[in-house]
Amino acid sequence: MSSSQKVITAKADLVEYLETGSKPDRSTWRIGSEHEKFIFYRPDNSPLAYEAQGDKPGIKDVIQAFVDHGWAPYEENGYLIAAKKDGASITLEPGGQFELSGAPLETIHQTCNETSSHLKCTQEIGEKLNIGFLGLGFHPTLKREEIPVMPKARYDIMRAYMPTVGTMGLDMMLRTCTVQVNLDFASEADMVEKFRISLALQPLATALFANSPMKEGKLNGFKSLRSHVWTDTDPDRCGMLPFVFEDGMGFERWADHLLDTPMYFVRRGDKYMNAAGQSFRDFMKGELPALPGELPTMVDFEDHMTTLFPEVRLKTFLEMRGADGGPWSRLCALPAFWVGLLYDTEAQSAAWDLVKNWSIEEMAAMRDNAPQHGLQTEVNGRTFQDLAKEVLKISDLGLKNRARFSTSGETEQGFLKSLWDSADSGKTPADSIKDMMESDWQGNTAKLFTELSY
């Protein structure tokens, strides 16, 4: 029996599973980058449905184009919904957002090459299908009801459940895009310190990468509307996780949190059974109403973990989830930012020294204020713009110490350039969009698609 088929009978099984993520040998640490983007039809900037509509291609055609470029297709209930190649995968989000989940790689140079290769392929496919790909945190023009829904069974369950627990869950599903990076840890203690550093600094990442100032064709008053949406999506599975900063945090405490979070579904083959609001603890006792008498496997636990959406998420690695989708350069900057802070001992120690005395209340205020105020957010009498310069110095130090060179002899430090530009100017991509909408573009939303697409 494979580990994924192992039947779970006790919480200790879950703790043991999480512990397998520990990698004491730093040489085995990897970087997994992910980014999402909106797809639009160039003649009218409209979204793509799953199936083609006359001359207008469908999302299925886009995935098939990647299959034609050598990606392996993946179907669910007869629908082509994903493709895989060289350890990377292309998947669909609920509203047709297109996600690249990269392979686990050793350096930022490699992750950026992977991203660049993917985007060059999207450009080629875009020319062929007359479509474009847009990197923003929130869809700039479409109303919720105008978004086509993708044929993935888990999303049907989530769309029904989301409105019962928050007001913006459907916006999160249908109208947002993010960029994230997945990182390793050496041990339980190292995981806890990394978790705390990254949670504390996630609002700063939100500010630096803020790129969603538009909603339904108008400026919305936020720098990162995407981040604000998460504040009222589902309180059971989102947020800043104050318990992570409490004594006793570790794999077992995280397992308890997972067990205390209501389920969405149980998957058997291609079939998703609605278990919304039900308890994984009951599942472990054979008392899940959706599957009475059946015990969960580790695959069920892995599925359940994917339904939690905090600012930082622990699996057998840590996911940094606070940034808006954005320009090409910032897709490479996000992994550089976090790798610099967390993959070098000296830099990680400096980052921990910076945040270790912040209170839960201060961090909560940072999280609440960053979506609207961006780099003008204040903490302890200083702006995020000033904080960004200090944190970027630490990240730059970490990348310098890593000394991972490109084929042309460059370190990874150069990938921070776009963030240094923001820290120096106080302007994020959201600020630039606002400035252009109020000046050169004169409120013309079509410019968003022609000027900001990949």
Amino acid at 362: E
Q: What's the maximum distance between 2 C-alpha atoms anywhere in the chain?
A: 64
Range 360-389 average pLDDT: 96
The helix (H) or strand (E) run that includes residue 67 is: helix 59-68
What's the pLDDT at 2?
57
Token pair, residue 269, equals: 């083959």
pTM: 0.97
**Helical ranges in 285-326 per DSSP H:** 298-305
- Classify 87 as helix, strand or coil: coil
Amino acid at 342: L
Token pair, residue 287, equals: 């008392």
What's the pLDDT at 1?
47
pLDDT tens digits for 252-263? 999 999 999 999
In the predicted structure, residue 317 carries a pLDDT above the cut 80: yes
- Which residue matches tokens 């636990």? 301
Count CB neighbours of 2 within 10 A.
Answer: 8
Percent of the chain exceeding pLDDT 90 equals 97
Distance CA 446, CA 48 (A): 17
Token pair, residue 49, equals: 């449905």
Torsion of CA 421, 109, 182, 134, to 10 degrees: 60
pLDDT interval class at 68 (50, 70, 90): very high
Distance CA 262, CA 265 (A): 10
Identify which has the larger pLDDT, 228 or 5.
228
What's the pLDDT at 37?
98
Cα 331 from chain centroid (whole Å) = 11
Range 311-328 average pLDDT: 97
pLDDT tens digits for 73-126? 999 999 999 999 999 999 999 999 999 999 999 999 999 999 999 999 999 999
In the predicted structure, residue 291 carries a pLDDT above the cut 70: yes
In the predicted structure, residue 348 carries a pLDDT above the cut 90: yes
Domains of the chain: 3-261+308-452 (3.30.590.20)
Count CB neighbours of 380 within 10 A.
Answer: 10
Distance CA 448, CA 454 (A): 11
Strands 309-310 and 238-239: parallel
Count CB neighbours of 10 within 10 A.
Answer: 9
Distance CA 304, CA 307 (A): 5
Distance CA 452, CA 454 (A): 7
pLDDT tens digits for 407-416? 999 999 999 9
In the predicted structure, residue 379 carries a pLDDT above the cut 90: no
What's the pLDDT at 3?
67
Task: Please name which of 393, 385, 391 lies closest in space to residue 413, comparing C-alpha atoms.
Answer: 393
Average pLDDT, the chain: 97
Torsion of CA 239, 240, 242, 243, to 10 degrees: 80
Percent of the chain exceeding pLDDT 70 equals 99
- Which phi and psi angles does 101 have, rounded to 5°? -105, 110
